Structure 1
Amino acid sequence: MDNFPKLLQTPHLTSIVELNQDRKQEKKILHTHENTEIFFIQDGQGTFTINQKTIPLIRGDLLLINSFVEHESTSSVDPSFKGFSLSVSNLQLSGLPKGFIIPPERSPVLKAQEHHLTINKYIEDIYEEFNNKEPGSQEITSSLLTTLIIKILRTLYSTNSSNISSISEKVKKYIAENYHRDITLNELANIVYVNPYHLAHTFKNEVGISPIQYLIKHRIEVAKTMLLHTNLTIREIASKVGYPNANYFNLLFKKFTGYSPGKFRKKF
């Protein structure tokens, strides 16, 4: 693997928090801090904002936040939502500034569905040892954390990861910037110069859902944030996320969340 970074110091786990529907990550305003943060989605969905851009995450995703990167986080209200938040200090990789786990130009989202079981096991073991006060727990935690970070780096710098089809990445970027517009599969295929069938097949293999399903999920996640944190009407929110027909938006929202937009806002 070209340019694979080396650990120059032993990283230290400052905290690890289990996130679920009973103990969700509290919404934080945009902030920065010295530690590196790693978020792992075990199940369900979550939404995060980095540099004022909302990013929806799904099962198996890792969100890698470098030191002093401005971000805020809001856990999803998906009933199946589960995950972990790890805060790491003293991270120093060769070729990167202190506190950086990824180069600044790379996407902070690592699609790690292929390694979900392995990464999940590492993190659960870290959580258990970190909260274990028996002799040697600190040393075991440190060893497991180092192993986890190396596994993440392997995934990040592996041939398959570094060459993840630019098709899917370009489509996701386009959706994030244009979700409020009327987007079709043909339009998405045109921006990456492939036919719609090839795009649908490639995207589903890499992301796990079709491009149009991804578009809908992105819109619903943005709508959730607007419902919870703005005073916009449901009709205004529907229009802002690409659904001029508010009734159709209501049907889609209930299908994906189990709640109508109005009930969702009142409940959460």
Structure 2
Amino acid sequence: MIQCFVKKNVTSSFNYVTFPKLLYVSKIKEESSIYPRVMHSHDDFVEIVLICKGSGEYSIGGKMYNIKPGDVLIYNSGVIHDEISGPNIKIASYCCAISGIKVEKLRKNALIPDDECPVVPSKNKFPVLYKIFNVMFSTLSSGCYGAEESCNYLMMALLVQVKNLLCKIAGFHDGDTDEPNVLVRRIEKYINQHYKEDMSLKTMSGDLNISPYYLSHIFKNFTSYSPIQYVLRRRIGEAQTLLITTNYSVTQIASIVGYDNPSNFNLIFTKYVGMSPKKYRKNYIVKVDNIKKSFTLN
């Protein structure tokens, strides 16, 4: 028999006034990843993603990152992210959402400084992280007694493991202080504030006092999107959120995100997501109902 003893004077890695709360755990299979969750952000929680299989490019905070198996992605609250996928880009991953995080010297619901790289290789920590995610997902989906409480403690174990990874790369910043980056952030902020409005490159350049050519060139150079592509992806990402979280009709959602013509909205949504808005909502509701049924049966 081998025993491992706990140290007598153990101190917590986190000093929380309130306990963080696990909101959900998702398991994204390779075949499901071809229907992407387009550009969006979360106002009041952090997401932690573990890439299990596949590789590709993700846009996080306006920058493109090459992701690969074993990478941990951290989406602070308010950070716009775009999970680019498609028939030839299949990525399996786990994801969890956590609210109520307050780390010393960081804003609320931020796990890393906003200028720090959000992609962290897990290396030899991958098996541990994978097991924690797997147990959290299987426990929640089973609906067994005490599932939520058990998973909240597992979430704390996950946070400790992730913090350990972050400590090893502390100081690895992306650097946004040079003039072109500052200008791109200004353009991005403008689009995020006005993307639901009738917008053109001419409108943007006039309001920002930048020539249309330079605005388009510098923005695409840094984000890999043209300004208009960015607008479209923000609209579709917001539409996905509204389809999931509200009872608004498709026509109402089209209007909210900036489309007067529902048919045009349907065409653009299908192009970016791979299915119509109605089918997207139906698929999500079916999945949620199936999980609820499993809770009831258990």
8 A Cα contact 2:63 2:222, kept in partner: no
2:28 paired residue among 20, 38, 42: 20
The amino acid of 1:20's aligned partner reads: I
The structure 1 residue matched to 2:244, chosen from 228, 236, 246, is 228
* Gap runs ≥5 in structure 1: 1-8, 48-54, 66-70, 134-140
The 3-state SS of whatever aligns with 1:154 is coil
* Corresponding residue for residue 240 of structure 1: 256
How far 1:208 sits from its partner (Å)? 1.9
Aligned to 2:171: 153
Deviation at residue 249 of structure 1 after TM alignment: 0.7
Task: Tell whether 2:78 aligns with 1:63.
Answer: no
Any conservation in 2 of the 1:39–1:64 contact (CA below 8 Å)? no
Letter in 2 for 1:202: I
Distance 1:150 1:231, change over 3 A: same
1:212 maps to which residue? Answer: 228
Distance 1:161 1:264, change over 3 A: same
Check whether the contact 2:216–2:226 (CA below 8 A) recurs between aligned residues: yes
* Alpha-carbon spacing, 1:146–1:235, altered in 2? closer, same or farther (3 Å): same
Alignment match, 2:279: 263
Q: What residue number does 2:213 align with? A: 197
Normalising by structure 1, what TM-score? 0.58
Displacement of 1:225? 1.2
Give the counterpart letter for 1:64 in structure 2.
N
1:51 counterpart residue number = none
SS at match of 2:176: helix
Rg larger for: 2
| In structure 2, C-alpha distance between the alignment counterparts of 1:191 and 1:63, rounded to whole Å | 30
Answer whether contact 2:64 2:224 (CA < 8 A) is retained.
Answer: no
AA aligned to 1:251 is L
Match of 1:6 in 2: none
CA RMSD of aligned residues (A): 4.9
Percent identity, aligned pairs only, is 25
Distance in 2, matches of 1:180 and 1:82, equals: 32
Cα distance, 1:190 vs structure 2: 3.1
1:250 match: 266
Aligned partners of 1:239, 1:98: CA distance in 2, in Å? 32
In structure 2, what is the equivalent of residue 184 of structure 1?
200
Would you say the 8 A contact 1:45–1:81 is kept in 2?
no
Partner-residue secondary structure (3-state), 1:244:
coil
* Residue of structure 1 in register with 2:126 after alignment: 127
The Cα shift of 1:253 comes to: 0.4
Partner in structure 2 of residue 52 of structure 1: none
Cα distance change on mapping 1:56 and 1:154 into 2, 3 Å? closer
Pairing of 1:76-87 with structure 2 (within 5 A): 80=90, 82-83=92-93
1:101 to 1:30, Cα distance in 2 relative to 1, 3 A: closer
In structure 1, C-alpha distance between the alignment counterparts of 2:168 and 2:204, rounded to whole Å: 35
For 1:231 and 1:225, how far apart are their aligned partners in 2? 11
Task: Work out the CA distance in 2 between the residues paired with 1:147 and 1:176.
Answer: 31
What secondary structure is seen at the aligned counterpart in 2 of 1:199? helix
Q: CA deviation at 1:168?
A: 2.0
